[in-house]
Structure 1
Amino acid sequence: MLTDIRHRAILPYVYGKNKETVEIMLETKKEFIKKVELIYADPYHFKEKDWQYQLSEMKRTGSTRDIDYWKIQIKPPYRRLRYGFRCTTAQNKTIIVTERGYFEEIPKEIGNFYCFPYLHEADNFRAPKWVKDTVWYQIFPERFANGDSSLNPKGTLPWGSTNPTPTNFFGGDFQGIIDHLDYLVNLGINGIYLTPIFKAYSNHKYDTIDYFEIDPQFGDKETFRRLVKGCHARGIKVMLDAVFNHSGFYFEPFQDVLENQEDSRYKDWFHIWDFPIETEPKPNYDAFGFVSTMPKLNTANSEVKKYLLDVAEYWVKEFDIDGWRLDVANEIDHSFWREFRQVVKKVKPDAYILGEIWHDSLPWLEGDQFDAVMNYPFTNGAIEFFARQRMDSQTFVDSITNVLHMYPQNVNEVAFNLLDSHDTARILTLADNDKRRARLLYLFQLSFLGSPCLYYGDEIGLSGGEDPGCRACMEWEDENQDQSLFSFVQQLIQWRKEIKGFGNSGEFQFLTGQGNVIVYEKRTNTNRLIFVLNNEDKQQDIILDELANRSAKELFTNRQVTFQDQAKISVQAYGYFCFQL
């Protein structure tokens, strides 16, 4: 029984969705339970000796091969709650589920029930509202556009003249981004995420030398201020990348340690094992991986903490940036991130705090640290199914359904959903350069919950393998851009903004996975969209009961379609439909 029904009175099973609403989730073995009712009431609501509980039916919000998920939202009148579950099995047996075990009838003793002590608004997860309506565009500044050649580092190569390497430079800068802001507006972008812009040695800038200075290759602070103001004038938010897990080799405190060794006043800024310092063949200090040029910072040290928190405050306060993306966030202590949030939110309450974490991230998403993480579980499922085609449709449905139930709903709504980045091969390369598969990836990403992010150049067909191949120069010649792909992505972003339910306001649920065809719906109180995607290189015919005897508008063809008793749909190879009911 313990493996058939699962609930604990902790996240993500129960949480305050807002100041008056509690959401509760139950997991049950697939098809073991056919109906779930929540038993609930205020813990002090008695008539004589009888607890005055209520029963409300829960909704099955998703299913995998193994699990059925059930959810309900309720509004406790006094913000306190005791609760349990009345489950009806497929064989019509009743099981009462409580914190103290299972019963055949609802127990009289209130102490048996799960407890949600009090709905404190201060404990609720709260992320900036604007993020739900944001479509991000990630820019690797060195490779986006060269707008001011006078800033070119020594040895800068002509734009796009050769393949990217870990050490070559092409002169991308802030002016280049400013020159192309209207291109981003035309695409529909309203948020840009810049990889590190601070003074650094490398072309990628993840080895910071000075956290308070702009890298001279990109421009100066006044140019950056113009960039932020130019973005804000166009309704575009700006998020910077902070590397607080480690510094660069030429970071002044680390240079002092190299020079003065054990006598350095900065020796406790890092995790040094012993002296003298060794960098080869492996460092004798903690680093990012075993990269000796990226020594790990000791964020528990009070001086280090103050320095980094001052950095976090400075760029928000002085330049009005809208968010921080935090590199290698899972390797920094939770205590630091709690203070980081307080500092940033004090300056700008609606700043977006995004952590780079590649795995289950619930400990960072309880409302006291990050607003979101880079949603790599989503990324992995989408890439394995659509691009690499190593996953069948049912496994994909299972993967994404689990992702949706890993975190509370209000966390999912602001999750940073990417398909690729400077850390991965580009989606077109992952899809064997088949742009039909790339279109399916974009359709799924941009009709999903969360805050989607596009990697620069993907929208015009840029390809590239793992780092450094994924960091090629942006292609600005019209004849070298795939304008059809650009228009397709542009249309999806427009629908996301204009059609209620297409983007973040609709509830998401899979309807079926047949062969390599997936069907899912997005639903609001007034609108319902049904998506059909064929991830196979041949036509697929499916029957979709949800459309039987219904009339719908198909968005991509703009045609009205009427279905008969048997709603048979033929989907061409790598084809797709979106039916608006």
Structure 2
Amino acid sequence: MLKEAIYHRPKDNYAYACTDEELHIRIRTKKKDVNEVTLVYGDQYEWVDRQWVTSSIPMQKSGSDQLFDYWSVVVNPPHKRLRYGFILKDGAETICFTEKGFYAEPPTDDTAYYFCFPYLNKVDVFKAPEWVKDTVWYQIFPERFANGNTDNDPAGTLPWGSKAPTPSNFFGGDLEGVIKNINYLKNLGISGIYFTPIFKAHSNHKYDTIDYMEIDPQFGDKDTLKRLVEVCHDHGIKVMLDAVFNHSGFYFEQFQDVLVNGEKSRFRDWFHLREYPLSANPLPNYSTFAFEPKMPKLNTENPEVRDYLLEVGRYWIREFDIDGWRLDVANEVDHSFWREFRREVKAIKPDLYILGEIWHDSMPWLRGDQFDAVMNYPFMTNILNLFAKGTITPKQFIENMTNVMYMYPHNVNEVAFNLVGSHDTPRILTECGGDKDKVKQIFTILLSFYGTPCLYYGDEIGMEGVMDPGCRECMRWDEDRQDKDLFGHVQRLISLRKKYPLLANAGDLQFIPPDYHETCFAYTKSDGNKTVLVILNHSPEPAQFDLPAEFKGRKTKNLWTNEQYEASTEKLDGRGFTLLEF
């Protein structure tokens, strides 16, 4: 048994409270090295005749990636506290793994050997808003979705879609355009809109804020936003705005004061300045987003900056009843600020959704004291590597996705913001080389997986575009230029996700073993009563998939076609998929 590969630590993603009564415990072992794992546990204060009272429960091998197996179990500690260890067997050796190391036999003279979950405090349970689990998001880049009011067009506005997008051109998209197209969104079936920034800014992308307390005039005014939120809420659609607290824009009033007054500016401590006068060449002598001189980094450790930004967070909830904040470049802002931000905004609206833009492992932000979720770019990367880039096999896809799943606790995964494209990436159809069947498969995964999925505007009608600015083309409202077949595919998947909870966040998700089939891969979602089996054929050639033994000969319903039948195998077209309910 390779002991160096065995890993566990209390809290975070290896031992966490999923509800007020329920603990989830995981352990990692070398792949195919251990045959059996048993959890030994008890209350550290429960002794009879000088013997610690323990119970044991077998753990389930719930997933495998390229290097490791993951074992899981659910425990309900009667007194909400737990000491525990693991009995591991490989067929030749049996060992007990505890916090103090490995033993041939479980220690019985002192509970201090064992891992400790001190107490399941209700306030410590990670709880994101329940509504998020049932939300399908739609990301809108306001400047490019629809021009609903030409009176607020900025100077030099081009006719809609008349030219390719550039970093500096404008087409007049605004909030009124969203209001006027709300029926399109409702027909698609989405239930949440994520807007990239709408506050006053110089650029067309608005990530260079001039005034955090004002709507950019080209998008409308505050009355327009109030109407937009009301219309969305009337149609069962949540609204999430984008906040850029890591940096301001070059024309932010406080930064302009520093440029004019240098060391004498009362706002000099609002930023990270290294020397005076400020200079952008060859690199800025002040901290910025990346090395972009027009995006000076804000000093969120400064009390005045904190107070200003916290009021921004509160104001748009209090006055406009928004439902979420998406936080740009969230990993470069100090944790202390985010803890205070959460307290302040949740005090106004407890079920507000707080989403951080972080592209890497984000456990430090997801312990219940900062964010509800992060943008799940590891999920997106794995999908692109299989379908778009072809750099991994279906077997490697399963292994990599399993690794993504075990990065976080289950209750964190339920609200993970899953995406396959955004304003920062090439469009998904472009990534797939124009292969619509690949895109259909990708949307099938996106809309049948755990988490809260997001569509980037226009992807549902087959828009294409390379990396920014190519991915920010004007929405195509000419129906002759819309892919109605792809729209129908996405629309039906959203409808099925709403109708069948197992296609959303109900049940436990498990992949069929990665070496089960050469070209097909599959996963199940089960709640102990019903099971949904999702099968995808990665090959362009037709394939036959032998159903796992537990499903053979059982009556099944094909959720896509509504057919009911008994089968031992399932035939799939090239790049095909099927959704079966047992």
Indicate conservation of the 8 Å contact 1:25/1:71, yes or no. yes
Alignment of 1:169-568 (within 5 A): 169-513=170-514, 514-546=517-549, 547-563=551-567, 567-568=568-569
Indicate conservation of the 8 Å contact 2:66/2:400, yes or no. no
In the other structure, the counterpart of 1:30 is 31
Q: Distance in 1 between matches of 2:453 and 2:93?
A: 44
User: 1:549 Cα shift?
Assistant: 2.3
Indicate conservation of the 8 Å contact 1:500/1:527, yes or no. no
User: 1:577 Cα shift?
Assistant: 1.0
- Report the count of equivalent residues: 577
In the other structure, the counterpart of 2:570 is 569
In the other structure, the counterpart of 2:100 is 100
Indicate conservation of the 8 Å contact 1:372/1:416, yes or no. yes
In the other structure, the counterpart of 1:111 is 112
Q: Distance in 2 between matches of 1:362 and 1:323?
A: 20
In the other structure, the counterpart of 2:144 is 143
Q: Distance in 1 between matches of 2:95 and 2:394?
A: 33
In the other structure, the counterpart of 1:63 is 64
Q: Distance in 2 between matches of 1:61 and 1:503?
A: 19
2:382 aligns to what SS in structure 1?
helix
Q: Distance in 2 between matches of 1:302 and 1:498?
A: 48
User: 1:568 Cα shift?
Assistant: 3.4
Indicate conservation of the 8 Å contact 1:387/1:441, yes or no. no
Q: Distance in 2 between matches of 1:71 and 1:216?
A: 53
1:213 aligns to what SS in structure 2?
strand
User: 1:79 Cα shift?
Assistant: 1.0
Q: Distance in 1 between matches of 2:325 and 2:501?
A: 29
Amino acid at match of 1:340: F
User: 1:571 Cα shift?
Assistant: 2.0
Amino acid at match of 1:552: T
Q: Distance in 1 between matches of 2:158 and 2:513?
A: 51
Amino acid at match of 1:554: N
Q: Distance in 2 between matches of 1:421 and 1:9?
A: 35
The answer to which of 480-489 and 99-108 deviates more is: 99-108
2:89 aligns to what SS in structure 1?
strand
Indicate conservation of the 8 Å contact 2:278/2:285, yes or no. yes
User: 1:92 Cα shift?
Assistant: 4.8
Q: Distance in 2 between matches of 1:512 and 1:557?
A: 26
User: 1:73 Cα shift?
Assistant: 1.3
1:97 aligns to what SS in structure 2?
strand
1:395-446: CA deviation from partner (whole Å, max 9, x where unpaired): 1111110111110000000000010000000100000011000000000010
The answer to which of 4-13 and 439-448 deviates more is: 4-13
Q: Distance in 2 between matches of 1:2 and 1:128?
A: 40
User: 1:279 Cα shift?
Assistant: 1.6
Q: Distance in 2 between matches of 1:10 and 1:148?
A: 52
Unpaired segments of 5 or more residues in structure 1? none
Amino acid at match of 1:556: W
Amino acid at match of 1:530: L
Q: Distance in 2 between matches of 1:138 and 1:20?
A: 36
1:3 aligns to what SS in structure 2?
helix
Q: Distance in 1 between matches of 2:385 and 2:66?
A: 18
The answer to which of 532-541 and 198-207 deviates more is: 532-541
Amino acid at match of 1:550: R
Q: Distance in 1 between matches of 2:502 and 2:575?
A: 24
User: 1:316 Cα shift?
Assistant: 0.5
The answer to which of 278-287 and 159-168 deviates more is: 278-287
Amino acid at match of 1:225: K
In the other structure, the counterpart of 1:46 is 47
1:34-66: CA deviation from partner (whole Å, max 9, x where unpaired): 221110111001002100100011122111232
Q: Distance in 2 between matches of 1:555 and 1:390?
A: 31
Matched, 1:131 2:132: yes
1:18 aligns to what SS in structure 2?
coil
Give the TM-score taking structure 2 as reference length.
0.98
User: 1:569 Cα shift?
Assistant: 3.2
1:353-394: CA deviation from partner (whole Å, max 9, x where unpaired): 000000000000000000000000101001111222221111
In the other structure, the counterpart of 2:6 is 5
2:513 aligns to what SS in structure 1?
strand
Q: Distance in 2 between matches of 1:545 and 1:159?
A: 52
Q: Distance in 1 between matches of 2:399 and 2:494?
A: 26
2:553 aligns to what SS in structure 1?
coil
1:357 aligns to what SS in structure 2?
coil
Q: Distance in 2 between matches of 1:495 and 1:281?
A: 54
Q: Distance in 2 between matches of 1:322 and 1:337?
A: 17
1:178-237: CA deviation from partner (whole Å, max 9, x where unpaired): 001111111111100000000000000000000000000000000100000000111110
Indicate conservation of the 8 Å contact 1:13/1:25, yes or no. yes
Amino acid at match of 1:561: Y
Q: Distance in 2 between matches of 1:561 and 1:35?
A: 36
Q: Distance in 2 between matches of 1:357 and 1:505?
A: 26
1:38 aligns to what SS in structure 2?
strand
1:477-522: CA deviation from partner (whole Å, max 9, x where unpaired): 1111111111110111111111131111121111033333211111
Q: Distance in 1 between matches of 2:232 and 2:187?
A: 13
Give the TM-score taking structure 1 as reference length.
0.98
Indicate conservation of the 8 Å contact 1:500/1:524, yes or no. no
User: 1:551 Cα shift?
Assistant: 2.5
1:449 aligns to what SS in structure 2?
coil
Q: Distance in 2 between matches of 1:116 and 1:497?
A: 37
The answer to which of 126-135 and 9-18 deviates more is: 9-18
User: 1:467 Cα shift?
Assistant: 0.1
Q: Distance in 2 between matches of 1:388 and 1:431?
A: 7
Indicate conservation of the 8 Å contact 2:173/2:219, yes or no. yes
Q: Distance in 2 between matches of 1:499 and 1:343?
A: 36
1:330 aligns to what SS in structure 2?
helix
1:125-160: CA deviation from partner (whole Å, max 9, x where unpaired): 111110000000000000000000011100000000
Amino acid at match of 1:516: T
Unpaired segments of 5 or more residues in structure 2? none
Q: Distance in 1 between matches of 2:3 and 2:121?
A: 30
User: 1:464 Cα shift?
Assistant: 0.5
